Amino acid sequence: MMVKAVHVHKDAFHEDASSQPGSFFVDEPDAGGVQILWYRCPCGCGAAGVLRVGNGFKPATDKPSWSWNGSTDAPTLVPSVHHVGHWHGFLTDGEWRSC
């Protein structure tokens, strides 16, 4: 299964819980450069997820984190994303791809 990752405005994401599966937005970085990437589960259930990301680096934290390529048009995250009980796969070149 492949789902297009669509960047949306923060307000639209929070106002519409039924927003497109795989849609996402990224908060501004904190002092250490860590950002929160919010996304709608690619499985289509409508659940929101949050990931700690670094633009070009994987944040050093005691919690799970991902390296993000900084793109909102064709985002890539490393490593894979596991939305427990719903979906597991990769966000690569703007596409959520199931494992």
pLDDT tens-place string over residues 5-17:
999 988 888 777 6
Residue with tokens 């405005």, as numbered in its chain: 9
As a whole number of angstroms, the distance between CA 34 and CA 97 comes to: 24
Question: What spatial distance separates the first Cα and last Cα of the chain, rounded to whole Å?
Answer: 9
pLDDT tens for 37-96 read: 999 999 999 999 999 999 999 999 999 999 999 999 999 999 999 999 999 999 999 999
Taking the whole predicted model, whether its pTM rises above 0.85 is answered as yes
**pLDDT at position 14:** 76
Task: Classify residue 23 as left (phi > 0), alpha (psi -120 to 50) or beta.
Answer: beta
Does position 31 have pLDDT exceeding 70, yes or no?
Answer: yes
